[in-house]
Each structure stands twice: as C-alpha cells, then as structure tokens.
C-alpha cells in the first residue's frame, strides 16, 4: 500500500507542475496577444509562430509550436542579456 500512496503523491505533484507550466505558457501567450506581438498561421500541415516580427517556431501542433516559440524567445532573451554592452564611439 505504501508504494501506491507514494505513486499517488508523485502523480499529483507531476499534475500540479504540468498545470503550473501550462498556466505560465498561456499567460505569456495572452500577454503577447494583447500587445499584438505574436502572430501565427497554419501553412499546409504546420503552424508557424512569429514574435516581434521574427519567426521563432514551426510545428504540426499549435500547442507545441507555441511552447517552442516561448522556449526560443526565452533563449534569445538570455543570449541577449549575456552579451556585453557595445561602447559608443564618437563620430
């Protein structure tokens, strides 16, 4: 019985984590939608997603395309924040 209880706790924790992740992704999507920063279209059997006029994801599933777009945008932000600031030269 102990294994069953342990398994139930693990499943419940996994469900809570998945729900929190889903909520975070769709809040991100809603914010970009409200700001008119995200666009998507279905081309053939693929969903193409652009954020800030930059293509960031393509997938056969709309859900996966949005998740991939978020990962890409977050990765771009991290890369940009790690780059040293450019010095301004006098002309």
Dig out the tokens for 39 from the structure. Answer: 């666009």
Higher pLDDT, 1 or 77: 77
- Give the count of alpha carbons within 13 A of 88, CB side only: 2
23: how many CB neighbours lie within 10 A of its CB? 10
> Are residues 40 and 65 in contact, defined by beta-carbon separation less than 8 angstroms?
yes
Q: What is the pLDDT of residue 89?
A: 63
| Element housing 49 (H / E) | strand 46-51
- List pLDDT tens digits, range 7-66: 888 888 888 888 888 899 999 999 999 999 999 999 999 999 999 999 999 999 999 999
DSSP state of 45: T
Q: What is the pLDDT of residue 39?
A: 98
In sequence order, the 6+-apart residues with CB closer than 8 A to the CB of 39 are: 49, 50, 51
* pTM of the full structure: 0.72
């Amino acid at each position: 019985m102990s294994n069953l209880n342990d398994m139930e706790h693990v499943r419940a924790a996994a469900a809570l984590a998945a729900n929190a992740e889903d909520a975070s992704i769709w809040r991100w999507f809603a914010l970009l939608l409200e700001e008119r920063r995200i666009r998507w279209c279905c081309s053939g059997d693929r969903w193409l997603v652009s954020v800030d006029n930059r293509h960031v994801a393509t997938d056969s599933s709309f859900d996966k395309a949005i998740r991939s777009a978020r990962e890409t945008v977050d990765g771009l932000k991290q890369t940009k924040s790690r780059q040293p600031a450019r010095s301004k030269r006098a002309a």
